[in-house]
Chains A and B, each alone.
Chain A
Amino acid sequence: MTRPIVSLENIHKTYGEGASEVRALAGVDFKVMPGEFVAVMGPSGSGKSTCMNIVGCLDVPTLGSYRFMGVEVESLDREELAMLRRHYLGFVFQSFNLIARTGAAKNVELPLVYKGVPRRERRALAADALTIVGLADRLDHAPSELSGGQQQRVAIARALVTQPRLLLADEPTGNLDTKTSEEILNLMVDLNQTRGLTIMMVTHEPEAAAYAQRVLMFVDGKLVQDGPPEEVLS
């Protein structure tokens, strides 16, 4: 039996105290198995972002148990969380978040620098990752010299270069036009199918969620629907 990559049990997250207390998550349970492509949907304030932050080991739950690759995350300190992110997680953001005035390859190399990979090896790995996303000829272009779609590809390459177990994408097509969005989503589907990469993607666009195999729908801090897109989105 394969072990789930992500396993949430009765996860609660509250911000603030007393009268100003905000319940972002109120008892969420789900598992993500290796090789899945999951879309996370919900209106703003539904808790989907909070949930992704917890899954991405950027935040810890107030209550409940979160296991990432079998590891109890809520007992880890900042340093240990950073180690999990460094070795097993890849992040893609809505606004690309590349380091300005720094070449594409250098941006992609960054996680490897923190991982302590030697310089020569880094360059080769970065070139490989950029080849996978179709930017083999743009290694030294700065973000400002690339289109939005190309920047997002660099960001995906940066997330891929450490060969993570889970890719987390937060509204990856939110800043892109329809055509480019389709390209990026197709790239993610391709990575999922040909490389078996597990992906969780937050989106508010049903068109984007349709690319996933499974959709989680959040409302008011609760997981209200969990199923294939054709079922949840209909």
Chain B
Amino acid sequence: MASKPSVDRREFLKGAAVTGAAAFVPAAAPLAAQPFDAAQGGQAAQAAPPAGPVREADPAPNTEVLGPGERAGGDFMVDILKSLKFDYIASNPGSSFRGIHESIITYGNNVAPEFITCCHEESSVAMAHGYFKAEGKPMAILCHGTVGIQHAAMAIYNAYCDRVPVYIIAGNHLDATHRRPGVEWAHSVQDAVAMVRDFVKWDDNPVSLAHFAESAVRAYKIAMTPPMMPVAIVCDGGLQEEPVSAEEHAKLRVPRLTTTSPPQGDSGAVAEAARLLVSAQNPVIIADRLARTPNGLKLLIELAETLQAPVVDQGGRMNFPSRHPLNHSDSARQLVTNADVILGLELFDFWGTTNTLRDSLHRTSRSFVKQGAKLISITASDLFTKSNYQDFQRYPEVDLAMAADAEATLPALIEACKRLVNGDRQRVFDERRRALADAHTKLVRASREEAAYAWDASPISTARLCAELWEQIRTEDWSLVSESGNMSGWPKRLWDFTRHYQHLGDSGGAGVGYGAPAAVGGALANKKYGRLSVNIQGDGDLLYAPGVLWTAAHHEIPLLTLMHNNRAYHQETMHLQRMANRRQRGATRWNIGTTIDNPNVDFAKIAQGMGVWAEGPIASPNELGPAIRRALAVVKKGEPALLDVVTQPR
């Protein structure tokens, strides 16, 4: 550096505890605060500067440009990001990370990572959430000091609950003496990650570039170790902006990333699980957040076919083909009720899978598992549980619990099962296969028959919407990048899901506002593969942060969005109805505070205003097919398109 202030900020950062920053006493403290040293004859007091306004530093020479050989700290940070092979970094711009922002777009040439402009930090994080589940690697996001992290918080919580790694870089100005007066103080914080620490897996607040390098790589490694979760690194404004001399830069290095092998289940527990499964008469396999890679899907097929056991896919990930004869997701309750062995793979809620709780004035619960049935759990969530936020669900009483990554454990479990299958068991399995295949055929037929009800109704039935959409994407390389639960599960019941990217699960924390940005993030991941991304979009969800439509238009992210516009927060209408009925009053007032009408939201106009091709509202079922055709033509040109479809509630 050409000139040093009286208090070197790097030394300050190295020496000061984060929370001690406020206690820092500047050189020019008021006289009254100085101790009187009798031995010095009061010299300390005499040597102290006169009382008056605090002086932070001597005036620095004009150092507005980097000197010869100097580098920007932000450039080195970009070297780190490039070493971690981020394709994208999403953000709403903010001054606390202006240093690294400029380094990304200029020094880094805005490639790997490419800056994705978002209109809200919740959109940035949810985009990264959806992106990971389609691409299998994390996306970085930048957020601005206090305000950005607060905006991002809900989306971070969703990712945490969904066990998805999101790589958060938070700008901040820790050194109070360097902050610009006014807003920069309001946007600075002692402990930037404090407010989200309950729902990130790890975070750090590096005080030097070398520290940033290690922590950035460590954060990536921790995020990608099951159970995967968001991580956060605070990126100090001073570190980003202050020059780095050639000598200092020569000492910096990019640490090598070695990702952790996912933990496998204990070999003895695997053997016992295999024994139980092979000898079971009515086993059932239930998978939720199992398939964290494409291989998870293949492994579950292999396990199910080895045992000829039915599979219930709870849909946290794309775990099992929807039309596989062993897919019996629609019969979950029956299967669990009659099973003698239940294998749960990365279940979000094992207790809720085997018990029911009646939402009545006096809540009652009961298990519907058969007496003597054996419950086996394999989940990495058992390796990492926090206290405050209660997403860990009610305690499940299982017989065998493996604290392990289920996908990593499946190869050993499959081999152990195969070793135990003898001729007698194989004959049982073959018979079971025939019965299950027959039942699956009936399930598919029953779903179609149910879809025919209200086929010509207006508002359009969710079954009709899904059937119309399926007809036009079935021959494409498609990917459903939205949640499907609020559609009464019709996509899984009518469509042929076979590939890992065709279903991306849900939000995890059930925080509304996830859907639209996660869909755009999934579509961003699909873009380079030429996949057709489709999004069935809730109306209330889009209203949280519709600016993500602009992001899709701006970055030319092809995405077909069909609004599931039921003009209400329908889950909440049902809750309010329940309260009114329970209290015996106001049974027709459930719409107050729960509906999105009067006026109806014109989502086509909103989308058009964001630069997205759009049509609607479409309330007649016969108009839907041709409209989808027109929208698809736009998407196939590489742009987003939206159809506002007025729908039945579920």
B partners with A:
no
State the B residues within 8 Å of A (CB).
Answer: none
